[in-house]
Amino acid sequence: MDDDRNQHSACGLAAVTRRDFLKLGAVVAVDSLLLGRLFAAARVLALPLDATPTPTPAPPPSPTPLPNFDGEGRITIEPNQGLVVMHHYTLRITFIIGPHGMKAGGRFRFVIPPGLPANAWWSPPQVNEPQGAGFTTVSWQSHAPARVKLEQISRGLHILLAAGELQANDTITLTYGDTRRGSPGARVQRTAAAGVAFHVASDVDGNDKFRLLSAVPTITTVPGAPVEIYLAAPSQARTGQPFTVRVAVLDFYRNAVSDFQGAIRLRSRGPQVTAPATITLTPADGGSKTFSVTPRQAGVLSFDAQTAAALAGAGNPTLIHDEKPAFTLLWGDIHGHTARSDGGGVPAAYYRYARDVAGLDFAALTDHDDMLDDAEWAESKRVTNSFDEPGRFSTLLAYEWTHWVHGHRCVYFAGDDAPIFRRTTPPTDTPAGLWAALRRSGAAVMTIAHHTRGLRGAFNGGQAEIDWHAFPPPPDLERLVETYSIHGHCENEELAGPDFIGRKGFVQDALRQGLHLGLMASGDDHSGHPGFGPGAHGEPAGLLGVLARANTRAAIWEALQSRRVIGTTGPRIVLDFQADGHGVGEEFDILATAPSPRFVARAWGTAPLARFELLRDAVTIHEAAVEGALSAVLEAADDEPTGSAHSYYVRLTQIDGHMAWAGPIWIRRGIRL
């Protein structure tokens, strides 16, 4: 991250960076020089023919620039290895003064990396609550008298040399998480990762111009104790055709316990299969492994797993078919963040987790547009493309357009290169401007709105609420809407989670307005754990299912464009929804004289079912009796009067509170030949 952007994020400055001011200054300088030459030429042309031009005095010599030693110095961090996630520690962070010393008024800046939710991230360093987490004190050693004090800033501290001077190799030491007055220490982030970096910069001459230190030790955080076994199986398979099931041993925060070693017993439920009874993990497996299964009969298959130490887990249902279905249900998470914006980990670790721990079929990384510089966007594209492996794991180029007044939209691309249009740069500072720029780019692109209702605690003067009336999305560019994420539900006010405020922007509002948006879900995870990640209030991340013809980027893109999607609150719940033989995402007409449309929906849950509903125009019109079963069928006809268009979708609720959506299907009735 460059110093300009982090100065903004740490100190709350305006969105215009110092880089922008320098660029603007260069333009002004060029224009002033050009005007000066024009005025000089005009003066010469206005002289009489026999006049002698007055010599132009030579410009004064440019002042010799003062030496700039900002960025000098180095630091040590102890301890910086093996910090267990979400545990509290006392860290000693020592700043060693560089060869040119530091003058009175000079400062170091120390800021923790950004991350959400705040209650699952590094404790912000603070100086006001000795018994609170992150309480920080300072000490120093100097050759001459000096006085150092701490100033609170957003997510960090300024370490100010208030009086005196510091010489080369003098030291200032922060005790971050000082427990001597009752603090529990400094809490570590929830993501296990190598290369975690604090933001450290110096302003040695006190002119408010910071420069990042060139070498800052990084921190390695490690998983906690194992608490569960996670199993991820495909939702569909064929008799006689082998497939793999992913097994991962996870800690409480869904980090893979990379040093786990032991045997895991497996038990299948349902049709007969050929599969191992036990698998063994070693540290070389990194906490995750696959095993092969060959089903010998059709039916609904699932696996349980357990260790001798009572770790346990249950897998999702797999529908075993004798014939290959027209579409394959694939699972992915296309909304998440890394430390390149306000999340955890790096892009490569994000995709490895999606593929090798969560067992996803596809993924996309959507770091925030205004927190990515051009080099970081190039890195995101390069890493995303490198993980795209047709037939095994697919990726999409993407970023999040993060506007705090007009709402947040993720931007997805079908190809292997893509432009980035930032909300901080007009004309792409409105949804309409963004869509226009995307059209002009010529890229195959789509946008998806998320947490469409106003977000509690939003920034920059807005609530990040989607206004469907002010900026109705173009149907060719916006085909889907994120109904659920770690922030909670956006379907309607009844289900809205505690992160949300306001009374507009619901998904059902968009459907009632006549917008044709398929209902999907995804994570918005900020821990580098696509497919997982609890929110600030404990909500799990959402999950996206697509009905695709193959596991390739092109096939998944076609499924998204066709709105053949399922959204869930995390589990791999299988939903099949049809109307008169038409599937999710389709639009069709029926004659005025035709029979009422008939709807059939089938569900296979991961827990006993509680409700199974059919909704027309966002209103429940039929419920199936489920009575705690693991699967159910909903059949209904709709006798709504002809002459209008309607949207229909199904919503499933399990006893454990998890939910799933499929649809809508749009039907226009009353067509006359």
Burial class (CB in 10 A: 0-12, 13-18, 19+), 644: exposed
Residue 423 lies in a domain: yes
Residue 321 lies in a domain: no
pLDDT at 7 over 60: no
pLDDT tier for residue 490 given thresholds of 50, 70 and 90: confident
pLDDT at 579 over 80: yes
Residue 25: the pLDDT is 32
Residue 69 and residue 193: Cα distance in Å, rounded?
32
pLDDT tier for residue 534 given thresholds of 50, 70 and 90: low
pLDDT tier for residue 57 given thresholds of 50, 70 and 90: low
Residue 609 and residue 317: Cα distance in Å, rounded?
14
Residues 404 and 545 in one domain: yes
Q: Where a domain ends, among 288, 314, 340?
A: 314
Torsion region of 270: left, alpha or beta (phi above 0 gives left; psi -120 to 50 gives alpha): left
**DSSP assignment of 168-231:** TT-EEEEEET-TTTT---EEPPSS-EEEE--EEEEETTSSS--EE-S----EEEE-----EEEE
pTM of the model: 0.86
CATH of the domain at 442: 3.20.20.140
Summary mean pLDDT of the chain: 87
Torsion region of 457: left, alpha or beta (phi above 0 gives left; psi -120 to 50 gives alpha): left
Whole-number percent of the chain with pLDDT over 90:
74
Residues 213 and 277 in one domain: no
Residue 457: the pLDDT is 57
Residue 62 lies in a domain: no
Task: Count CA atoms closer than 13 A to 297's CA, side-chain side.
Answer: 9
Residues 92 and 127 in one domain: yes
Residue 501: the pLDDT is 59
Print the SS3 string covering 34-54: HHHHHHHHHHHHCCCCCCCCC
pLDDT at 485 over 60: yes
Mean pLDDT on 613-621: 96
Mean pLDDT on 80-102: 96
pLDDT at 492 over 60: yes
pLDDT at 538 over 70: no
Residue 595: the pLDDT is 85
pLDDT tier for residue 293 given thresholds of 50, 70 and 90: very high
Widest CA span in the chain: 110
Residues 174 and 258 in one domain: no
Residue 138: the pLDDT is 98
Residue 122 and residue 115: Cα distance in Å, rounded?
8
Show the beta-strand stretches assigned E in 345-487: 362-364, 394-403, 407-413, 445-450, 454-455, 480-485
pLDDT in tens, 380-396: 999 999 999 999 999 99
Mean pLDDT on 481-491: 89
> What does the chain come to in residues?
673
Residue 58 lies in a domain: no
pLDDT in tens, 20-36: 322 323 333 333 333 23
pLDDT in tens, 315-365: 999 999 999 999 999 999 999 999 899 888 899 999 999 999 999 999 999
pLDDT tier for residue 455 given thresholds of 50, 70 and 90: low
Q: Where a domain ends, among 284, 314, 344?
A: 314
Residue 447: the pLDDT is 98
pLDDT tier for residue 594 given thresholds of 50, 70 and 90: confident
Residues 98 and 189 in one domain: yes
The token pair at 17 is 């960076």
Residue 461: the pLDDT is 54
Beta bridge partners, 400, equal 368, 410
Residues 284 and 402 in one domain: no
What is the domain extent for residue 595? 575-673
Residue 44: the pLDDT is 30
pLDDT in tens, 142-180: 999 999 999 999 999 999 999 999 999 999 999 999 999
pLDDT at 233 over 90: yes
Residue 452: the pLDDT is 83
Mean pLDDT on 654-665: 97
Residues 342 and 465 in one domain: yes
pLDDT tier for residue 1 given thresholds of 50, 70 and 90: very low
Residues 441 and 547 in one domain: yes
Residue 592 and residue 602: Cα distance in Å, rounded?
28
Residue 465 and residue 402: Cα distance in Å, rounded?
11
Q: Are strands 565-568 and 156-164 parallel, antiparallel or unpaired?
A: unpaired
Residue 648: the pLDDT is 97
Whole-number percent of the chain with pLDDT over 70:
85
Q: Where is mean pLDDT largest: 61-75, 228-242, 339-353, 398-412?
A: 228-242
pLDDT tier for residue 505 given thresholds of 50, 70 and 90: confident
Residues 402 and 495 in one domain: yes
pLDDT at 45 over 70: no
Residue 559 lies in a domain: yes
Q: Where a domain ends, among 530, 553, 570?
A: 570
Q: Helices 347-356 and 374-386: crossing angle, nearest 10°?
A: 30
CATH of the domain at 640: 2.60.40.10
Residues 429 and 520 in one domain: yes
pLDDT tier for residue 535 given thresholds of 50, 70 and 90: low
Residue 56 lies in a domain: no
Q: Are 317 and 629 in contact (CB under 8 A)?
A: no
Three-state DSSP at 610 gives strand
Residue 645: the pLDDT is 86
pLDDT in tens, 93-126: 999 999 999 999 999 999 998 887 778 889 999 9
Residue 36 lies in a domain: no
Residues 183 and 274 in one domain: no
pLDDT at 137 over 90: yes
Residue 432 and residue 438: Cα distance in Å, rounded?
10
Residue 325: the pLDDT is 95
Residue 130: the pLDDT is 98
Residue 460: the pLDDT is 55
Query: Number of structural domains, the chain?
Result: 4
pLDDT at 441 over 90: yes
The token pair at 645 is 């268009």
pLDDT at 629 over 50: yes
pLDDT at 427 over 80: yes
Q: Helices 18-45 and 3-11: crossing angle, nearest 10°?
A: 120
Sequence-distant (≥ 6) Cβ neighbours of residue 130 within 8 angstroms: 178, 181, 182, 183
CATH of the domain at 124: 2.60.40
pLDDT tier for residue 65 given thresholds of 50, 70 and 90: low
Residues 409 and 517 in one domain: yes
Q: Are 237 and 243 in contact (CB under 8 A)?
A: yes
pLDDT tier for residue 456 given thresholds of 50, 70 and 90: low
Residue 179 lies in a domain: yes
